[in-house]
Structure 1
Amino acid sequence: MTAPREPRARAVWPLVRVLLSTQYAYMLEYRAEIALWALSGVLPLIMLGVWSGSGAGEAAGFTPAMLTRYFLAAFVVRQFTVVWVIHVFEEDNLQGRLSPYLLQPLHPFWRYLAAHVAEQVTRVPFVAALLALLFLLQPSLLWWPQRADVFWGVLATVAAFILRFLLQGVIAMACFWSERALALERLLLIPYLFLSGLVAPLETFPPGVRAFALATPFPYTVAFPARVLMGAEVNLGAGFLGLALWSGLFLILFLVLWRAGIRRYSAMGA
């Protein structure tokens, strides 16, 4: 039973290595643009200044140290859960580049996933530089999580990225039926900003709004990984279960819509 799998695994690993190295080299050509992308993700740091000066955090039970840790953790989580697959998929679909991808034995979305991973690796030094500059300007913000928090926080961040990738992949499937599927992703921007915990901790919301937010996938993309990374009391089992369930749901939707969309696809070369 295990013998056929070993050669298959040995054949897959070179493909993964080549795909990731190629995408990484490609991303290095756009490192200046990636630096701008990293700078565009400083919203949690801006919100840290807003909440620190308002006193509303203390009213919600957040000490200044807790607010600092939360928004710093949210900044890190946000940087490594950025997903833009719908932008490139819509462009590839409209310009006909999807057709030759479909002729290859590799699913096109593995290519997009590799590009995202490569972009995140390229982003690491820029994020580290931003944090170093912040700590240099404000030494009081300096904080380092515990090893266990780092481990579970990184794991939760990776799971949150997968969830966001699958969610945007489902939205990208609308490209098979519409030339403006990107508008659907923009419609999700507002609920993502407010329900994910990016602009405010969910604990500061009214109970009804908080319950509604927790019934959506958005808190698992920022709030849960950030709280794990900052070392707050959190139910790891429930959080990872929620990530798994939402990811499984979006994976099923993606596969169903992909098959239906491919049957509809009629671009030249498909």
Structure 2
Amino acid sequence: MRKAKTLLQVYLAYMLEYRAELVLWALAGVLPLILMGVWMEAAEGGGFPLTSGEFARYFLMTYLVRQLTVVWVVWEFERDVVEGRLSFRLLKPLDPFFEHLAAHVAERLARLPFVLLLIGVFFLLFPEARFVPTWDDLFLGLLLTALAFLLRYLMQYTTALLTFWSERASALEEVFFLLYLFLSGTIAPLEVFPETVRALALLTPFPYLVYLPAATLAGQEVALWPGVGVVLLWGGFFLLLSRLLWRLGLRRYSGMGA
């Protein structure tokens, strides 16, 4: 606990040095807010399972969830391996997994005020999006968001470990990002997907990274089970795979000072 507290304090201070950059990153993730207007306009014509107001609330919560679950560890780890900086991290009595995780959590804490401010602005611009979630929805939604963040971090960290065999593991992450974009519910909620596509998507980890927590926060009816079970299964799989790749990768690592 003492190590975790120290890491969070250090990285939070580091992140607060770049407040202007945090604002730019918060603004860079406004794709769900753009799509909100598109789907609200489409819902006016009818024929969709969600109303205009429900689309507005869903995409607003999608923006919040994506801001709280964004991960970039693959690019950091890739640079550490390629430039030999991992050698210095290995000298510390701490797995780099936890050091990168602390940096991500601290960045969330520093970014959150800007995200909430932007959501407040969109509440003013789109009256249809105004709502107050119940305490149950808020608690479950935030819990699912935390699980989604941990799952996405595990997925990307596992991909990052492939840098031991290839210097461009981030290229594979870009392929996964395309699947994430279309299957996670970022482009459209799963209710508008064809039944076959929706069934296949639910077998992958992607819908649980955005759709499940966003829909819960928006007050929509979602099946928490088997959703939570699938999240835990995928999380366990990527955790075991990452530990295996870490041990095998260290045997291949030959960076500066290794």
TM-score bracket, normalised by the shorter chain, equals over 0.9
Amino acid aligned to 1:261? G
1:38 alignment counterpart: 26
Which residue identity lines up with residue 83 of structure 1 in the other structure? V
Q: Which residue does the alignment assign to 2:157?
A: 169
Consecutive aligned runs of 4 or more in structure 1 exceeding 2 Å deviation: 55-58, 136-141
* 1:60 shift after superposition: 2.7
In the other structure, the counterpart of 2:185 is 197
Residue number among 191, 207, 214 corresponding to 1:219 in the alignment: 207
8 Å Cα contact 1:57/1:63 also seen in 2 = no
1:237 positional shift: 3.0
Picking from 138, 146, 150, the partner of 1:158 is 146
With over 3 angstroms needed to count, the CA separation of the structure-2 counterparts of 1:178 and 1:56, relative to structure 1, is farther
1:130 aligns with 2:103: no
State the percentage of identical aligned residues.
53
- Aligned 1:1-270 pairs, distance under 5 A: 13-55=1-43, 58-270=46-258
CA drift at 1:249: 0.5
Q: Does the aligned pair in 2 maintain the 1:152–1:228 contact within 8 Å?
A: yes
CA-atom RMSD in angstroms: 1.3
Q: Which runs of 5+ in 1 are unaligned?
A: 1-12
Structure 2 segments unaligned to the other structure (5+ residues): none
How far the C-alpha of 1:142 sits from its partner, in A, is 1.6
Greater CA deviation, 95-104 or 150-159?
A: 95-104
Distance 1:148 1:181 in 2: 40
More moved, 54-63 vs 226-235: 54-63
Q: 2: CA distance between counterparts of 1:137 and 1:60?
A: 23
Instruction: Determine if contact 1:57/1:204 at 8 Å carries over to the other structure.
Output: no
> In structure 2, how many angstroms separate the alpha carbons of the residues matched to 1:14 and 1:239?
34
Q: 1:103-160: per-residue Cα shift (whole Å, max 9, x none)?
A: 2110011110000000000011110110111122333422121111010000000000
Residue 131 of structure 2 aligns to a residue whose secondary structure is coil
Structure 2 contact 184–211 (Cα < 8 Å) conserved: yes
Equivalent residue, structure 2, for 1:9: none
- 2:140 is aligned with what amino acid? W
TM-score, normalised relative to structure 2: 0.97
- For the residues of structure 2 that align with 1:59 and 1:112, how far apart are their CA atoms? 45
> 2 CA distance for matches of 1:226 and 1:82?
14
